[in-house]
Amino acid sequence: MNNNYYASPAMERIRGRLERLYGPSAPRLLSRLAMMMGRYGLEPGPRAPLEIDERACMLIAYADSVRNPAGPSLPAMRRFLEKHVGKTVTHLHLLPFWPSSSDDGFSVKHFRTVEPRFGGWADVQALGQSYRMVFDLVLNHVSSQSGWFQDFTAGVAPGRDYFIAADPGGDFSNVVRPRSHPLFTPFATHSGVKNVWTTFSADQVDLDYSNPDVLFEMLDIVLFYAAMGARVLRLDAIAYLWKRAGTSCLNLAETHEIIRLMRDMLALAAPDVLLLSETNLPHAENMSYFGAGDEAHWIYQFSLPPLLLHALVRGTARPLAAWAEKLPAPSPGCAYLNITGTHDGIGLRPLEGLVPPSEIEGLVSHVSALGGRVSTRRTPGGSDAPYELNATWFDALGMGDAGAPDLHMARFLCAQAVLMAFKGIPAVYFNTLAAAANDHELASRTGMSRSLNRGKWLAGDLEKMLADPNSSSSRALAFHMRVLKLRGEHPAFHPDGAQKTAALSDAVLGIEREAPDGSERVLALANFGGRPELVSKAALRAHGWQGVLPSDLITGRDVSGPDGSIALGGYAAAWLREA
């Protein structure tokens, strides 16, 4: 590559980032990066970022969410999607499909190989013919069975320098923990027992990014995934990436610098590949991963699921509305990825500062009473505190003995209607799409609380459930497909469209969405209470919403009430166009 290339603004930015990370090694590392990009044939060219509009939505699924007893699972997944989903979904997040030793794929043994039980790269790329593929970049840690870690224990280069060993008796009191187990795990090595940094589990061994060779291993994997069809890379557990003695080892400046470096590299080599940060943290910390519009393109809206659960369990729209009213518009080219249930639990840290601690405890009690579980984290004081609620989204919204199945379903669909109306891009987890119940048998077998929400289906069993129009799975799938298609027909739901929110009563949330060009406005209403509500004309007028047409876009029903009000049933949602 010529000198003009090295002097380009993007390469100058990368040079500065490498200097801040690794000092005088930066010129050598910059040349190494340029050669790496050339090796993948991803040199600067005319490729442009893919356009995102109101049709954008994501399905999150395991490679074996739909299983074929007679062969690999990815072809079974493709057949299911062709039959039941089609083009309604634009993005498919295929959760880690690499060979792994635990945590359903997040303890990666080999980063460039598809787990044979799932299929091969040809099966992944076949899905990429219909969907923009989202791959997980599991970059904080690797499996203790990985080749890199086996080299570490054997003292073989380069893996011997890829991990962090320390005396666990040292002062690590400032380190923020997402789990309750010890920070260090002892491993037998060629030179004796070493205690190695393991943030998430004894099988997930943290990498040492102070060694530039570790970063370059991951940058190489980023380019490989781009070459294999990834259009979004999910940065798993990115907040914990860089460790520095005496700090929290969370959200460090070096971590943000690495994300900016990755974005600059992709802008040069693969500008149609986006970065999605996974930072299940308090809201302000999560938001920081947008940077100044130069870090993650998308961030998960992690506060939305626990706030929605809080709203529907307590029957109040006010905390959710107060939070939503303060949401800033993302920078151009950036967006929120909105979620409810995911493959992980419902995070509680994103609720910190948004609702009183006693109400967080109330959610813990609610989910526990319905058969869910609670995962904890170790606090700086040494005690354990709730970290996430483990349950399927459908079961988390259950009502115990207090409500009939139809009311439970209404509560669930109300939450999903809010998800699909919210500013950003909606993402629906496969088990939420199918209104799955907690998988207690799987959780008992694995010993993992998260397994409650990671159940899988044999293709034939899933088809039988969906063939019954009265089953929860059939009703949930039909609702999602109908409303996602509807959303894609209305430019008011463009991710860049303006959003205005308000609590119209204690129980009713209003979300106004407006098309970026001002051509359309839609008012989404949600009643978080189990009793019918009338939204008065005065309440609508107070927010400039008196011009809504009383015909619900979702159901086609007239929702007009007396004296110009809007009538909502218990746990009902409605989308209304504004004249």
Q: Which residues are catalytic?
A: 236
For 395-459, give the DSSP string.
Answer: HHT--GGGS-HHHHHHHHHHHHHHHHHSSSEEEEEHHHHTTPPP-HHHHHHH--GGGGG---EEH
Cis amide bond preceding 158, omega within 30: yes
Structure tokens at 176: 């923020």
Which whole-number Å values give the CA distances from 116 to 73, 127, 286, 334, 402, in the listed order?
9, 16, 35, 35, 46
Structure tokens at 341: 């249930």
Beta bridge partners of 427: 58
Q: Of 351, 343, 358, whose CA–CA distance to 304 is shortest?
A: 351
CB 82 within 8 A of CB 92: no
- How deeply is 23 buried, as exposed, middle or buried, from its count of CB atoms within 10 A (0-12, 13-18, 19+)? exposed
Could you give the CA distance from residue 269 to residue 42 in angstroms, rounded to a whole number? Answer: 5
Q: How many residues does the chain have?
A: 579
Structure tokens at 338: 């909105």
Cis amide bond preceding 182, omega within 30: no
Could you give the CA distance from residue 162 to residue 168 in angstroms, rounded to a whole number? Answer: 18
**Residue 356 three-state SS:** coil
> Could you tell me which residues come within 8 angstroms of residue 422 by beta carbon, excluding any fewer than 6 positions away?
301, 304, 324, 336, 338, 499, 511
For 48-94, give the DSSP string.
Answer: -PPP--TT--EEEE-TTSEE-TTS-HHHHHHHHHHHHTGGG--EEEE
Q: Of 579, 571, 522, whose CA–CA distance to 549 is shortest?
A: 579
Structure tokens at 405: 């199945």
CB 579 within 8 A of CB 549: yes
Q: Of 16, 14, 35, whose CA–CA distance to 220 is shortest?
A: 35
- How deeply is 191 buried, as exposed, middle or buried, from its count of CB atoms within 10 A (0-12, 13-18, 19+)? exposed
Beta-carbon-side half-sphere exposure of residue 245 (alpha carbons within 13 Å): 7
Backbone φ/ψ region at 494: left (φ over 0), alpha (ψ -120 to 50), beta = beta
**Residue 186 three-state SS:** strand
The alpha-carbon radius of gyration of the chain (Å, integer) is 24
Q: What are phi and psi of 523, to 5 degrees?
A: -105, 120
Q: Which residue has the tokens 């809007």?
A: 566
**Residue 512 three-state SS:** strand
